[in-house]
Amino acid sequence: MKKKILTAAALTFALGFGGAAQAAPAGDIPSRDFSFDGIFGTFDYASAQRGLQVLEQACMACHSMELVPFYTLEGIGYTEEEVLAIAEQYNVEDGPDDRGNMFERPGRATDTIPDPYPNEQAARAANQGAYPPDLSVITKAREGGPEYLYALLTGYTDPPPGVEVGGGLFWNEHYSGNQIAMPPPLTDGMVDYQDGTEATVSQMSHDVTMFLHFAAEPHMEARKRMGIKVILFLIVFTGLLYAVKRRIWQDLH
């Protein structure tokens, strides 16, 4: 499936692989609230689905998600039929067949988003020497996590007065050194959201961060629910132990 290759190449650099400058330390990343924050946090399914649209139109021409099967998308509200329709948009290498040859087929729910390049050398050649990272756990692999990714995607501004930006470089306030060798990966209106939401850079950055964090932690909500149950159990169990202890010591005295 063909995507917007130039934008995807830009996002490759934005994620910190092969750019002219390294990502700023976590202390320089502004704080941002997400619905999944905190012990009771959950994913915003509508936002995550919009984030998938951003990925499909802006990222998947260069990036893979080889640790996330398509059926995982049921976790953000897609039906089995919708998941299959999404998977079938991708061609997946399979085989060998009876003649010993590899072949391509439409994706299945059990497949993952395939690597768009046949090998690392081809990927680097298409992206000015940068190797596009797999996005499966990108929000867990970067210091600052989701806040880092959001800040990175929205950090493009004009340089301060009197500051000269090198040829072919762009100013990003969340990179150390501030000058990076890539264009802004997102522009207002570049995605036509199916639910009618206005596709501003801030909104798209939020949505794609929501989806990528879901991809990195698809069982987060179940884990949090289990954690709350365990804490409640321990509270009740501790109370019972204390009551038993008082009863035992009362008889001894």
40-87 confidence digits (pLDDT tens): 999 999 999 999 999 998 888 788 888 999 999 999 999 999 999 999
Distance of alpha carbon 34 from alpha carbon 67, whole angstroms: 23
Asked whether residue 125 is assigned to any structural domain, the reply reads yes
Instruction: Tell me what percent of the residues of the chain surpass a pLDDT of 90.
Output: 49
Confidence of residue 18 (pLDDT cuts 50, 70, 90): very low
Distance of alpha carbon 42 from alpha carbon 63, whole angstroms: 26
CATH label of the domain that carries residue 197: 1.10.760.10
pLDDT digits (tens, 9 = 90+) for 135-149: 899 999 888 889 988
Tokens representing 133 are: 């990272």
Asked whether residue 121 is assigned to any structural domain, the reply reads yes
What mean pLDDT is predicted for residues 225-252? Answer: 89
Q: Is residue 12 located within the same domain as residue 50?
A: yes
What domain range includes position 228? 220-253
* Contact assessment for residue 109 and residue 69, using Cβ atoms and an 8 Å cutoff: yes
Asked whether residue 152 is assigned to any structural domain, the reply reads yes
Asked whether residue 119 is assigned to any structural domain, the reply reads yes
Tokens representing 180 are: 């990076």
Q: Is residue 126 located within the same domain as residue 248?
A: no
Quote the crossing angle between the two packed helices 45-58 and 5-14, to the nearest 10°.
110
pLDDT digits (tens, 9 = 90+) for 111-124: 998 888 888 899 88
Peptide bond into 116 cis (omega under 30): no
Total domains in the fold of the chain: 2
Q: Is residue 199 located within the same domain as residue 183?
A: yes
Asked whether residue 89 is assigned to any structural domain, the reply reads no
Of how many residues is the chain composed?
253
Q: Is residue 134 located within the same domain as residue 186?
A: yes
Segment holding 14, helix H or strand E: helix 5-14
Which pLDDT score, from 0 to 100, does residue 206 have? 97
pLDDT digits (tens, 9 = 90+) for 174-216: 876 787 766 788 899 999 998 999 999 999 999 999 999 999 9
Q: Is residue 214 located within the same domain as residue 224?
A: no
Strand, helix or coil at 201? helix
Q: Which residue has the higher pLDDT, 28 or 151?
A: 151
Q: Is residue 171 located within the same domain as residue 226?
A: no
Report how many helices (DSSP H) and strands (DSSP E) the chain contains, helices first.
Answer: 8, 6
- pTM for this one? 0.80
Asked whether residue 92 is assigned to any structural domain, the reply reads no
CA 240, 242, 248, 251 torsion-angle sign: negative
Average pLDDT, the chain: 84
